[in-house]
Homo-oligomer: A and B are copies of this chain.
């Protein structure tokens, strides 16, 4: 009962066992909220009761790695706990298997998956857990499923926040920001109370920069530096397009930053990008292409893919999440960088503080990172960065009520929209 101990430290609580929906479950009741013994998981969360995180199926079994083949387990590290929201969705359906395989955290790193679904998706969540059972991944030691974000976040070392509500028909950007924002208020609070104190948070659900900002502002116990929004798929797509244009294979492309918002104002940086170790602008020598075609091609790639396929790019999104995590747990190659939307506090480029803004980063492989401070910002780049910065400031104002800012007014008008094609 890890959650109980954690909550006790913060405020008094009294665990007790109630019978709900025909099965025994432990409900942790906060002192200030009365227990509703017949509560469903969904109402339980609302009433500030929290489910205990329960392992699924074969993962309930006690196992003792000292009884296992030492060639398998002798170099194993302490199990990493990974909370995943939107766990029954398409992206997770790829990502969870990548996490379990050891491809992301390494071959000596056992993994616990703590999966969040909704009441509606709970059957699908069980289906995912069954498929994970049947995959027999040696490193996958625990799988737990729940509809309670507090339970799922408990002691998490990583929180991968993939779930978000898609836009409804005719819904305006401001409404979408608000609707998804509320989810990230709840999940941010769950992080704040239940997650490990150095939990790394990666937000994928769109609008991901502002969702990450909301989670960060609602989780003051977690270092602000630990919050990321995913722009790695944009980086990967930019590298592919640079390779295509240069006639070189993509392994030759490095130092390709994405600046700003994961939206159509994003700035894929060709000024600092390198191809075969040389500046991309010297290799390609086609500034018109860089300025007029490269950026929209990258930003519209998801839409182009949907047109071909009729579905969005779940597999490559999952690959890019795996890449983003791997970039934080393995050292960055000298001179290279990876893109991540992180908190702008103290950034070396004069970008307004208090935003989640994609910038070039590097890591020693310890889960932490620093913002690269040696990127050249020319006039063109400066103007583009200012535009995406302004957009993020506007988004922040629209969610002011969710992050404790009073008096902010939403300046995003009806019909104004910056979502990536296909993401609504």
Contacts and interface: CB of A to CB of B under 8 A. Distances in A.
Interface string A298-326: 00010011001111010110011001000
Nearest to A233: B134
Contacts of A310: 123-124
A200 to B, nearest CB: 22
Nearest to A123: B308
A315 B94 CA distance: 8
Contacts of A315: 93-94, 97, 131, 135
A66 interface: no
Contacts of A236: 134-136
Interface stretch (A13-21, A44-52, A240-248, A348-356): A240-248
Contacts of A276: 67
Contacts of A239: 136
Given A249-B58, A249-B63, A319 B103 contact: no
Contacts of A136: 236, 239-240, 250-251, 323
A301 B240 CA distance: 40
Contacts of A68: 249, 251-252
A132 B318 CA distance: 12
A138 interface: yes
Contacts of A237: 134
Nearest to A246: B61
A122 to B, nearest CB: 9
B97 A319 contact: yes
Contacts of A141: 249
Contact of A94 (B97, B138, B308): B97
A344 interface: no
Interface in A127-145: 127-128, 130-136, 138, 141
A311 B131 CA distance: 12
Interface string A104-141: 00000000000000000001101110111111101001
Interface string A61-95: 11100011100100000000000000000000110
